Chain A
Amino acid sequence: MQTFTQRLANPTKFMDLSARLLPWVAGFAAAILAYGIYLAFFVAPPDYLHGEIARIMFVHVPSAWLAMACYALIAISAFGLLVFRHPLADVSAKAAAPIGAAFTFLALFTGSLWGKPAWGTYWVWDARLTSVLILFFLYLGLIALRSSIEDETLASKLTAILALVGIVMLPIIKFSVDWGNTLHQPSSVVKLGGPTIHSSILTPLLVMGAGFLVLFVAMHLKAMRNEVLRRRVKALQLAEVARAQASQVTAAAE
């Protein structure tokens, strides 16, 4: 008797299931995001200190959440590949890396735009900013390592090892950056502790967070489907070449 994950790890089953799920997930994401954007623009009040610009938070904070969640997903996939050899684990890790990098970039970019009016500068060497920037570098490293190794099976194994090294190092890097900043400069971030946010801002933020999460699931599923299809095309092409070679050999023999 196969478990649910074992059945899901079968690429054919995955393609069937994801083909049926994807339109629903994508539609769901669009609906939540539309509601979230409505709440963010028309229901949430402008910030008393920063005015309208604070609304960038509704893109910035969910991006930052996803930037971290996506790296965790890559690490879990890497573990699944190295330990259980799930064929889909590598597809998942490969598909997630560019999406995670994009969300990390979005978090940095929107944060920078928000920082200019709020703190008067596009960038400060604050602990949070620095650790997100380093997370971005880790994503770039994963993508670069995979793209520079020709053999795909090897590339996926090595990228998985790098992802696991990264997940071990991330807390240490975060800790060290925090430490460095307590020595050099006090934090200048306007800290948004959970309970200090009023519900008129917290509700749109959570709705946007949910919308981003479902959007991520939709994009990840689509990217995984593309990757599976790409591998099938490649396998078909290789089979074609092998057949052509075999017929040449028999023709030469006759």
Chain B
Amino acid sequence: MNAFLSLVARDLRLAVRQGGAIGTALGFYLIVVTMLPLGLGADLNLLSRIAPGVLWIALLLSALLSLGRVFESDYEDGSLDVLVTGPLPLELVAVAKALAHWISTSVPLALLAPVLGILLNLELLAYPALVATMLIGTPAVSFIGAVGAALTLRARRGGLLIALLVLPLYVPTLVFGIAAISATLGPDDAAAPFLILTAISLGSMVLGPLAAAAALRAQMQ
């Protein structure tokens, strides 16, 4: 447990002190959301209607941007070799890296989302649901993304490839995230999509590290 926590702490320290990682993802999020009204026209009613979807999709893209680095920097400087031979099971290493990615990237993005919601004229009632779905759903983003990061570790053009591999797997998270927000606004029962979103997150927290560790093991032999 100690090794696990120190690995998470190390990754978080690296994310904060190396700079660039968190700021770039947040900046990218801001830019994408700003570009959309410029492209779609500044019709406030339209923007208000599509705001949850836009915020969710832009969040997925921003998180993708930093996913490539989850294992890559450790692979390049050799610390991944140490982690593979170390006492911590590789599955837990994958959990630690994905958890650190969630804390350092997905949570800041989820917290920035309501600010960007103002730009898109998001309905006031939707704010709590937006933040809630993002905080519940983003573990799936980080843990499924870790699988993609592990698979593309030694691939050429890994950055583009990871988007092709991972984005289709994000479909359930996106659909239920949006469904939960619109159910909160509408007459439908909001509990069901929230619960399914939670289930997807919990499931990917278990299965994602298994697949990621298998992929790492194949590559570090």
Please tell me the size bucket of the interface on B: 20 to 34
**Within the assembled complex, what's the spacing in Å between the Cα atoms of A172 and B171?**
9
**Within the assembled complex, what's the spacing in Å between the Cα atoms of A134 and B168?**
6
Asked whether, in the complex, the Cβ of A138 is within 8 Å of the Cβ of B151, the reply is: no
Asked whether, in the complex, the Cβ of A172 is within 8 Å of the Cβ of B200, the reply is: yes
Interface flag for A239 (CB, 8 Å)? no
* A113-152, CB < 8 A from B: 134, 137-138, 140-141, 144-145, 148-151
**Within the assembled complex, what's the spacing in Å between the Cα atoms of A175 and B183?**
17
With a cutoff of 8 Å between Cβ atoms, the chain A residues found around residue B64 in the complex are: none
**Within the assembled complex, what's the spacing in Å between the Cα atoms of A36 and B167?**
39
* B122-154, CB < 8 A from A: 147, 151-152, 154
Asked whether, in the complex, the Cβ of A183 is within 8 Å of the Cβ of B182, the reply is: yes
A158 interface neighbour in B183, B188, B196, B218, Cβ under 8 Å: B218
Interface flag for B103 (CB, 8 Å)? no
Asked whether, in the complex, the Cβ of A183 is within 8 Å of the Cβ of B219, the reply is: no
* A66-109, CB < 8 A from B: 82
Name the residue on A nearest B166 (C-beta). Answer: A141
Asked whether, in the complex, the Cβ of B175 is within 8 Å of the Cβ of A141, the reply is: no
> If A145-B165, A172-B200 touch, does A179 touch B151 (CB 8 Å cutoff)?
no
**Within the assembled complex, what's the spacing in Å between the Cα atoms of A154 and B53?**
37
**Within the assembled complex, what's the spacing in Å between the Cα atoms of A162 and B212?**
10
Asked whether, in the complex, the Cβ of A162 is within 8 Å of the Cβ of B171, the reply is: no
Asked whether, in the complex, the Cβ of A172 is within 8 Å of the Cβ of B168, the reply is: no
With a cutoff of 8 Å between Cβ atoms, the chain B residues found around residue A168 in the complex are: 207
Interface flag for A157 (CB, 8 Å)? yes
Asked whether, in the complex, the Cβ of A183 is within 8 Å of the Cβ of B179, the reply is: yes
Name the residue on B nearest A162 (C-beta). Answer: B151
Asked whether, in the complex, the Cβ of A158 is within 8 Å of the Cβ of B168, the reply is: no
A144 interface neighbour in B147, B164, B172, Cβ under 8 Å: B164
> If A176-B175, A177-B171, A179-B176 touch, does A145 touch B215 (CB 8 Å cutoff)?
no
Asked whether, in the complex, the Cβ of A140 is within 8 Å of the Cβ of B164, the reply is: yes
- Chain A nearest CB from B210 CB (Å) reads 10
**Within the assembled complex, what's the spacing in Å between the Cα atoms of A180 and B174?**
10
Interface flag for B17 (CB, 8 Å)? no
Name the residue on B nearest A151 (C-beta). Answer: B154
With a cutoff of 8 Å between Cβ atoms, the chain A residues found around residue B171 in the complex are: 134, 173, 176-177
Asked whether, in the complex, the Cβ of B157 is within 8 Å of the Cβ of A165, the reply is: no
- Chain B nearest CB from A134 CB (Å) reads 5
Interface flag for A218 (CB, 8 Å)? no
Name the residue on B nearest A149 (C-beta). Answer: B155
Name the residue on A nearest B173 (C-beta). Answer: A176
**Within the assembled complex, what's the spacing in Å between the Cα atoms of A168 and B169?**
10
Asked whether, in the complex, the Cβ of B151 is within 8 Å of the Cβ of A145, the reply is: yes
With a cutoff of 8 Å between Cβ atoms, the chain A residues found around residue B172 in the complex are: 169, 172-173, 175-176
> If A161-B214, A162-B151 touch, does A183 touch B161 (CB 8 Å cutoff)?
no
Interface flag for B211 (CB, 8 Å)? yes
**Within the assembled complex, what's the spacing in Å between the Cα atoms of A158 and B179?**
33
Asked whether, in the complex, the Cβ of A162 is within 8 Å of the Cβ of B165, the reply is: yes
Interface flag for A224 (CB, 8 Å)? no
Q: Nearest 10 A-B pairs (CB), nearest first?
A: A176-B172, A176-B175, A157-B218, A148-B155, A180-B175, A137-B168, A141-B165, A148-B156, A172-B172, A173-B171
